[in-house]
């Protein structure tokens, strides 16, 4: 039985992942992605049989052109997982395409960024949507934007687990990135919350990816390093405003009475 016939998800770096079933199209797809933003990329089949997952191009979801594109040298040593919080989970491809457009609108028009912040989006339809793509500097995780692949699982995953097709698509995308040399075979998998003050990717999803290969615990010092205050790539839940700390009394000496 060849690899092509295998329906299992492999994230080995030595064996082609299941998503490579249509490798010829992949070559075309990835060449276009790595060179910037072709608006005429072809569909690529990312799976086999009924569980087919596909990598959709920017033109598929109607992306606006980026204001500019900056590349970094690969392979990326980090993969960072996000949830979108908003938009909510989408289950049809037209809805997920709209979600990608909404996120691009938010990042590009409201935040003023070059493009949608993420490298890739994953829909509840099990499809993979090209964001900035591989080896393009993102806007999703300060200090990691020039050395990571940022993958957003569209939806709010604080208490619910994303459906299996979403998780499989994310794993397949990572495996594909490793196989193609865009992601370091010794990559570290992180949740967004490990590198900044955010609940992202949601508690339930974070618990899930904590069990995936290559998940890495950052030490407390590294994980709590202050980062520049800049807008998040995704909206925050109302309860997640850790930057708004309540006033604190000085650790020593009572606070001086205000002079009036």
Interface with Zn ion (CB under 5 A): 82, 192, 200
Let me know the angle formed at the C-alpha of 206 by 119 and 142, rounded to the nearest 5 degrees: 45
Structure tokens at 85: 């919080």
Structure tokens at 137: 């500097």
Q: How far is the CB of 81 from Zn ion (least distance, A)?
A: 8
Taking the least distance from each CB to Zn ion, the nearer of 12 and 241 is 241
Q: Helix H segments across 62-163? A: 93-104
Where does 142-254 show beta strands of DSSP type E? Answer: 148-153, 183-191
Q: How far is the CB of 233 from Zn ion (least distance, A)?
A: 6
Q: Is 40 exposed, middle or buried (0-12, 13-18, 19+ CB in 10 A)?
A: exposed
Taking the least distance from each CB to Zn ion, the nearer of 167 and 200 is 200
Taking the least distance from each CB to Zn ion, the nearer of 82 and 180 is 82
Taking the least distance from each CB to Zn ion, the nearer of 159 and 249 is 159
Taking the least distance from each CB to Zn ion, the nearer of 126 and 138 is 138
Q: How far is the CB of 59 from Zn ion (least distance, A)?
A: 25
Where does the chain show beta strands of DSSP type E? Answer: 44-45, 54-56, 76-83, 120-122, 128-130, 148-153, 183-191
201 cis-preceded (ω within 30 degrees of 0): yes
Q: How far is the CB of 154 from Zn ion (least distance, A)?
A: 12
Q: What is the dihedral of CA 195, 200, 204, 208, to 10 degrees?
A: -50
Q: How far is the CB of 219 from Zn ion (least distance, A)?
A: 21
């Amino acid at each position: 039985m060849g690899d092509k016939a295998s329906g299992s998800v492999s994230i080995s770096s030595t064996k082609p992942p299941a998503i490579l079933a249509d490798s010829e199209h992949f070559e075309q797809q990835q060449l276009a992605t790595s060179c910037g933003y072709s608006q005429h990329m072809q569909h690529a089949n990312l799976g086999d049989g009924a569980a087919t997952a596909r990598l959709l191009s920017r033109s598929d979801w109607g992306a606006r052109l980026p204001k500019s594109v900056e590349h970094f040298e690969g392979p990326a040593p980090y993969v960072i997982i996000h949830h979108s919080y908003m938009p909510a989970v989408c289950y049809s491809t037209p809805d997920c395409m709209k979600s990608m457009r909404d996120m691009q609108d938010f990042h590009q028009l409201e935040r003023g960024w070059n493009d949608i912040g993420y490298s890739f989006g994953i829909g509840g339809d099990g499809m993979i949507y090209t964001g900035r793509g591989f080896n393009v500097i993102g806007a999703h995780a300060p200090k990691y934007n020039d050395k990571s692949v940022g993958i957003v699982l569209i939806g709010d995953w604080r208490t619910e687990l994303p459906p299996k097709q979403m998780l499989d698509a994310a794993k397949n995308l990572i495996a594909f990135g490793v196989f193609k040399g865009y992601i370091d075979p010794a990559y570290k998998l992180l949740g967004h919350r490990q590198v900044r003050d955010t609940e992202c990717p949601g508690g339930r999803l974070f618990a899930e990816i904590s069990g995936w290969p290559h998940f890495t615990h950052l030490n407390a010092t590294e994980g709590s390093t202050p980062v520049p205050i800049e807008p998040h790539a995704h909206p925050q839940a109302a309860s997640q405003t850790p930057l708004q700390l309540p006033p604190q009394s000085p650790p020593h000496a009572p606070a001086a009475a205000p002079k009036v």
